[in-house]
């Protein structure tokens, strides 16, 4: 089955700096890779996703890159702000398995002001 590894487990950056979180997946057939943000005590919320026919996607300060050959994808947050502090989860999906998502263990991002 699919296995998703996420690094680092914690990340501290200064406000205004960039943050990068990386995930690797095991199943080469995975074709959908969402990123969720979860603030303390709140529900996970989708912030960006990428499909396997695209190498990069941007949405304002957030971008995701995908390397299918190496089976890894990364979340990039530029010009970080204190409100970016949260836990970020990556996930990988296989459409053949009914939209099943396998999540990484999460990255705690702290943005210091």
Partner 1 sequence: EAGVAQSPRYKIIEKRQSVAFWCNPISGHATLYWYQQILGQGPKLLIQFQNNGVVDDSQLPKDRFSAERLKGVDSTLKIQPAKLEDSAVYLCASSLGSGHQQETQYFGPGTRLLVL
Q: Measured between alpha carbons, how far apart are the two ends of the chain, in Å?
A: 41
What part of residues 43-62 is at the interface with partner 1 (CB under 8 A)? 43-46, 49, 51
Stretch in the footprint of partner 1 (CB under 8 A) among 11-19, 34-42, 54-62, 67-75: 34-42
CA atoms within 13 A on the CB side of 97: 13
Residues 6+ apart with CB under 8 A from 100: 93, 94
- Under the binding rule (CB under 8 A), the answer on residue 40 touching partner 1 is no
What part of residues 61-90 is at the interface with partner 1 (CB under 8 A)? 89
Nearer to partner 1, 26 or 45 (CB): 45
Nearer to partner 1, 91 or 111 (CB): 91
Contact (CB, 8 A) for 93 and 103: no
């Amino acid at each position: 089955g699919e296995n998703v590894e996420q690094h680092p487990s914690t990340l501290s950056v200064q406000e205004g700096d960039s943050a990068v979180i990386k995930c690797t997946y095991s199943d080469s057939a995975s074709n959908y890779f969402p990123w969720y943000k979860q603030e303390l005590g709140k529900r996970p919320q989708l912030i960006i996703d990428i499909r396997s026919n695209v190498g990069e996607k941007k949405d304002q300060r957030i971008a995701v890159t995908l390397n299918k050959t190496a089976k890894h994808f990364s979340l990039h947050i530029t010009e970080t702000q204190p409100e970016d502090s949260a836990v970020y989860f990556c996930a990988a999906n296989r459409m053949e398995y009914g939209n099943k998502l396998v999540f990484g263990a999460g990255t705690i991002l702290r943005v210091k002001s």
